[in-house]
Each structure stands twice: as C-alpha cells, then as structure tokens.
Amino acid sequence: MERAAQIQSTGGPEVIAWTDVQLAEPGPGEVRMRNLAVGLNFIDTYHRSGLYPMALPSGLGMEAAGVIEAVGQGVADWRVGDRVATFGPNIGAYCTARNIPAHGLFLVPDGISDEVAAAGLLKGCTAEFLVERCAKVQPVWDVLVHAAAGGVGLLLVQWLKHVGARVIGTVSTEDKAALARAAGADHVILYGREDVAQQVRELTGGKGVEVSFDGVGQETWETSINATARRGLVISYGNASGPVSGVNLALLAQKGSLYVSRPTLFDYYHNAAERTAGAEYVFDMFARGIIEMTIGQRYALEDAAQAHRDLEARQTIGSSVLIP
C-alpha cells in the first residue's frame, strides 16, 4: 500500500490530506516510479491555493527523483532499476510511488544524488531557460535577481555569473545575504530596509539593469520596473507575493520602452528534444560544479503541509526536499 497526498478543495496547507493507495500494474506507456526524494516548489502552493486552477480532487507536487520498479506495455526506453526524475507536467509527486507516463521522465546520471535531482531539476531547468533562452543574457550585463537566496534565486545567481553577468540580488535577511554572496552575487540589497530601485541605479551609474528576474510578483513589480534600464527586460516568472495584475502598458513606455515577459517553463520545454537537451544541460552544470544545490530543509513526506507553511512564510533558505 502506498501513501499519497490529495486535496479535495483549494485553500491553505491544511487542505493537504494523506490517503492509502493500491497501485495497479503500469498501463501502456507508463512506468511505476518509487520516489526516493520529492522536490518542494512554489508552484505546488499555487496549485494548492487555487491560484493555478486544476481539476479536483487532485494530487500535489511536480518534482521527484527515484527508481523505476515496473514498466508498462510499449515502453522501450526505460528498464526496471533505472534512476529517474520528473518535474511534470503530471501533478502528484507527493507520494511514495505512482504510475506515470514514461515520456515525462529524465535519466539521473551517476554522481547526481536523488536529493539534488529532486530539488534541482525543475529549478535548474527554470534557471537555464530564463538565462539562456528567455533573457539571452550577455557577458558584462547588469542583472537584478529578486529572492536571490531562494531555490531558483541561488541557481540563477550561479548561472548568471557563469555567463559573465554582474549580479545584484535582493534578500530579506542578513543570513540570506550571506548565501547570495557565497553563490556569487556582486551586490546584495536588503529589501524592506533599503530602496532597491534607487540602490540599483546607484550601482549601475544611473543606467539600471538590462534584465530583472522577478519571481516574487506583486510586491516587487514596481521595483523591477523602476530598476530596469531603457529598453531592458523585466521577466516576471513567479507569484510568491501574489500575481501581478492590471499592468499599465503606457508605464512601460514612460520607464524607457521596457519589455516584459511572463514565461513558463513548459513553453520553453515544450517538446521532447527541448526537454531532453535542457535537462542534460542542467545535470551537466551540476556535475561540473558550475552550479551547486543548496538544500536548506528536509521534511518527512507527510509533513508537506508544514513545508508549505515555511515556504510561504519565507522561512526557508535554498531548496527543500520531502523524504518518503
């Protein structure tokens, strides 16, 4: 008998319930994946709260790493015992094991731990597409990374330094500032204590940054607009403080003919070739030590509700994993 999270209605962390599940044999095109580590991501809270609508009742969670225990009819690329990871699009990773479509799996290379794969695949692929394909960041560009000590933020800082950018990060505490600096941030600003946009302008000689990476959302939107250089790009890729709404296009003109993108991972990892190439690139970056995973918290799988509370209260550092 397996254990799996299920939500009957949207709401706070208290809606996460646990149930016993008897798994059938994998169907055609499916494998049974035994989870050894499960990733925690902000998108999980969006699904749980209803910010990103989904059919109910539903499982929860996008990302996990583990091993294949059984293979369904027609699956030729995977074998029992293969180490694999997934980041969706199928929801339901908060479980001990499940049957999932084989096409949603990635091979975990030797030398990459289950925890790094579970905590780092989705966030690493997010950093990859944001830097390499959405912003196309160039050496010597000035860039702003909000929440620079978060799971995606720390990877963004490392990736951006690898491509030669000058990174300005924002964080909420001195402890998080130390983490961002250790990851390579050239300057760190404490939001809530300093005028971030003003500081960014001073650090860039009045110019502003070529790109603002904003995964916070509502609370930092105005700051990102004010900190971005003429003809610069604001990438709003998350809603940690709530979604950005009511965007005034005329304001983009007034602030210097700015560009704005609201990208999602699955539009950049849309087909099999894109997904495979991106995941291999990310795992190679981990293997070579160019990016490193900071796992700041480990929770028992069935403590997922507490993990959500901590994440939404900004009490976490780096990434978190749930351990079945």
Write a three-state SS string for the chain. CEEEEEECCCCCHHHCEEEEECCCCCCCCEEEEEEEEEECCHHHHHHHHCCCCCCCCECCCCCEEEEEEEECCCCCCCCCCCEEEECCCCCCCCECEEEEEHHHCEECCCCCCHHHHHHHHHHHHHHHHHHHHHCCCCCCCEEEECCCCEHHHHHHHHHHHHCCCEEEEEECCHHHHHHHHHHCCCEEEEECCECHHHHHHHHCCCCCEEEEEECCCCCCHHHHHHHEEEEEEEEECCCCCCCCCCCCHHHHHHCCCCEEECCCHHHHCCCHHHHHHHHHHHHHHHHCCCCCCCEEEEEEHHHHHHHHHHHHCCCCCEEEEEEC
Segments making up each domain of the chain, as ranges: 2-120+269-323, 139-262
Average of pLDDT values for 151-161?
96
Which pLDDT score is estimated for 65?
Answer: 98
Which pLDDT score is estimated for 241?
Answer: 76
For the chain, what is the mean pLDDT?
A: 95
At the fourth CATH level, which superfamily is domain 139-262? NAD(P)-binding Rossmann-like Domain (3.40.50.720)
CB distance 123 to 41 below 8 Å: yes
Which pLDDT score is estimated for 244?
Answer: 84
Average of pLDDT values for 245-262?
94
Model confidence at 256, pLDDT cuts 50, 70, 90, reads: very high
How far is 193 from 314, CA to CA, in rounded Å? 16
How far is 180 from 147, CA to CA, in rounded Å? 9
How far is 211 from 295, CA to CA, in rounded Å? 27
Model confidence at 171, pLDDT cuts 50, 70, 90, reads: very high
Q: Over 90: is that where the pLDDT of 188 sits?
A: yes
Q: What are phi and psi of 98, to 5 degrees?
A: -160, 165
- The fold of the 2-120+269-323 domain, in CATH, is Quinone Oxidoreductase; Chain A, domain 1 (3.90.180)
Digit-coded pLDDT (tens) for 21-41: 999 999 999 999 999 999 999
Which pLDDT score is estimated for 317?
Answer: 85
Please check whether the two domains, 2-120+269-323 and 139-262, share a CATH topology.
no
Which pLDDT score is estimated for 243?
Answer: 80
Model confidence at 192, pLDDT cuts 50, 70, 90, reads: confident
Q: Is the sign of the CA dihedral 42, 227, 132, 150 positive or negative?
A: negative
